Amino acid sequence: MERLQKVIAQAGITSRRKAESLILAGRVKVNGEVVKTLGTKVGERATIEVDDVPITKEAPVYYVLYKPRKVISAVKDDKDRKVVTDFIEEEEARIYPVGRLDYDTSGLIILTNDGEFSNLMMHPKSKIKKTYIAKIKGKPSRETLKQLAKGVQLEDGKTLPAKVSFKSGNKQNDTSIIELVITEGRNHQVRRMLEAVGHPVLKLKREQYGLLTLETMQPGDYRPLKPIEVSRLRELAVT
């Protein structure tokens, strides 16, 4: 027996948290009856419908994609712009991105149909390290780098401590390259942090997510995750 919201998430319909909202809204039926109770458990033979459409449990799949710039971290876009799932067209499972990268940000993003895994990766308590390389305007002082490392006050609260490294500078263009390692996942966080200390981002790339890297990959490349990688990510999310 499995919890209803977990079964819905594993079917690739949505995340477990959103599945709970669907249940509470009366949009889920089990064996023809509307169920609004969270925590309801169902067996393998149960017929489950979301908005009167029967669901089928898909085998979980996991991919890592090197997202190019000018690509939306979504499964569709109302402006008909390219989305991350366009790169894995041969996959029949209903995959979606884990979190997001900004339209103008490139780098590593995970795609899956496992709602439970996705929710675990994005949970506020998850402290998986995410490494970004940023090209910024100006050259940050040592005090500014220390400020970024200690935490920056943003409109939605102070950021958690980060690891910050100065990589290089270009005096002629008045730009610098820095590396930031953060454990949070707020919207536009890296861009907002650097904007707050007076160094707007000119270019941004996520190079690493936990143990995953972009080694040997080019923009637009993708590969399935190995079972050991999925297992290790789960471990990192709860430690």
If you write DSSP's letter for every residue of 135-188 in order, what string do you get?
Answer: EEES---HHHHHHHHH--EETTEEPPP-EEEEEEEETTTTEEEEEEEES---TT
Distances 89 to 75, 92, 117, 225 between C-alpha atoms, Å: 11, 8, 21, 17
The reply to whether 52 belongs to the active site is no
Placement of tokens 């979980």 in the chain:
60
Report the distance separating Cα 182 and Cα 100, nearest Å: 15
3-state helix, strand, coil split of the chain in percent (to 5) is 25, 30, 45
Report the distance separating Cα 28 and Cα 7, nearest Å: 12
Sign of dihedral through CA atoms 185, 66, 225, 164? negative
The 3-state DSSP class for residue 58 equals: coil
Catalytic entry in 51, 102, 104, 156: 102
Q: Which residues are catalytic?
A: 102
